Amino acid sequence: MQRDHPRFRGLREFLAFLAAHEDLARVATPVDTVLDMTEVQRRMLRAGGPALRFDAAMVGGRPALMPVIANLFGTEERVAAGLGVRRERVGELGELLAALREPAPVDGLKDALSRWPMIQAALSTRPAVVRSPPCQEVRHVGLAADLAMLPVQTCWPGEPAPLITWPLVVTRPPDGEWGDTGRYNLGVYRMQVAGRDTAILRWLAHRGGAAHHRAWEARTEAMPVAVAIGTDPATMLSAALPLPETVSEIRFSGVLRGERPRLAPAVTVPLMVPADAEIVIEGWVHPGERAPEGPYGDHTGYYNAVEHFPLMRVSAVTTRTDPLYLTTHTGRPPDEPSVIGAVFNELALPMIRRQIPEIGDLWLPPETCSYRTAVVSIDKRYPGQARRVMMALWGMLAQFSYTKTIVVVDRDIAVRDWSDVMWAIATRFDPSRDLVVIDRTPIDYLDFASPEAGLGGKLGIDATTKVGAETHREWGAVLSMPKDVERRVDALWPRIAADLAGRKP
């Protein structure tokens, strides 16, 4: 598959691309990183506006030491551009990624040659080691490492401390060679600034970073951690994708970028880090060291409860000579994560169809936190099929284990049109027959509506046309206008429009 856009080796190449397309705005007005910057981002995102570069960010009443980049992925078009394609081609990229995950047997030389893009993509996963990386042009090591040099936002009024919101946290298991990036995890885990050289890493138990931490702690050894801020868009989006546990996000970024990931050995910890990052924070998490994190505003639109998470002791902060600090905020959608989620929805659809072929379309509405509700259309052929699809989504695909409501509709329903979906529920669904309720299943522990933290129910709504044994009544016929009538009126429409335009009040 051919890219529509050039390869972006780092954040600034992507920003230059956006600027060339008049999709980056520079803000010269002083804006405080405490609350004010969040409100500016919220308004710009809701307006579908450009990415922002704050050249006069203020921290504690003083000018920041570096510009702040925000609203980077505030539109679906910019997310797609970060993936290297136009918005309308995200589905094609999804097909390629699905084929890479489950390649079909090669059928002859012609078929093999047609798969050259997939072979190229596979080759792009091997990292290239950079010995003098841009991310280490300036080094603050030991006592010189101070997180206060970063213009970290405070996003919401009830938060206890500044929060690093776009960190790419690099971890690895304790066994094996530390240069084996195939076993690395790259995750977006928010970081509370706890002091000049300490931060709290909030990774949930099911995430890769938490699994690595458990392994290190079981050996009573300190765990090396590196945090990259402001990388190329492919690396950032790979870290946010719900990839299988066996897939390295760092290596997968090479597939998206079409170029081998550029990595470099960290300065003070045994880890490889993105060579072209704007900023890298290095440090250690010692066994048993935890600190209370939160409360912070989250994508649910609520503050999280205070909980204890691992404490990172910073050993170095390295930067480019003139670094850019990347930030975002999370809150009730729409926010930047919900925009990214909308594109990822389409990116994942080909993979989902390979596992559940009867699915026509699937939508995770952003207003339901982009994962708590799914609307699915199917090509219905037999009784009970809608329930089978619900169970398949909940049971076969890990990313749907936190989806608590699934609405299944027929192919003639547009899943992204709430009026169409609600019409299907109103006319094809009966509560006494078409509800599926399951209790005591895994649920997002951030869901305060669940009776127990991490344990709640699932609801399935079968809003499909009932067939066979599903009903004993004659099903109604859907109203539709004959195609020849539509064609006749299409031909008449210019004349009718002219009549209407010339009417007198």
- The structural domains of the chain, with segments of one domain joined by +, span 11-326, 356-470
Helix axes 233-240, 76-83, angle to 10 degrees: 110
Residues in the chain: 505
Which class for 155: exposed (0-12), middle (13-18), buried (19 or more C-beta within 10 A)?
Answer: buried
Whole-number Å distance between alpha carbons of 176 and 178 = 6
Q: Tell me, yes or no, if 430 is annotated catalytic.
A: no
pLDDT in tens, the chain (505 residues): 688 999 999 999 999 999 999 999 999 999 999 999 999 999 999 999 999 999 999 998 999 999 999 999 999 999 999 999 999 999 998 988 887 666 554 444 444 445 445 555 555 678 999 999 999 999 999 999 999 999 999 999 999 999 999 999 999 999 989 989 989 999 999 999 999 999 999 998 888 999 999 999 999 999 999 999 999 999 999 999 877 777 789 988 988 888 899 999 999 999 999 999 999 999 999 999 999 999 999 999 999 999 999 999 999 999 999 999 999 999 999 999 999 999 999 999 998 999 999 999 999 999 999 999 999 999 999 999 999 999 999 997 777 889 999 999 999 999 999 999 999 999 999 999 999 999 999 888 788 899 998 899 999 999 999 999 999 999 999 999 999 999 999 999 999 999 998 875 5
| Residue 89 half-sphere exposure toward CB, CA atoms < 13 A | 15
Query: Beta partners for 52?
Result: 25, 70
Whole-number Å distance between alpha carbons of 370 and 302 = 15
Whole-number Å distance between alpha carbons of 104 and 110 = 14
Flag whether the pTM goes above 0.85. yes
Among residues 197, 232, 276, 298, the one annotated as catalytic is 298
Cβ–Cβ under 8 Å, residues 295 and 446: no
The second-level CATH assignment, the architecture, of 356-470 is 3-Layer(aba) Sandwich (3.40)
Query: Beta partners for 361?
Result: 377
CATH for 11-326, among 2.30.110.10, 1.25.40.10, 2.130.10.30, 3.40.190.10?
2.30.110.10
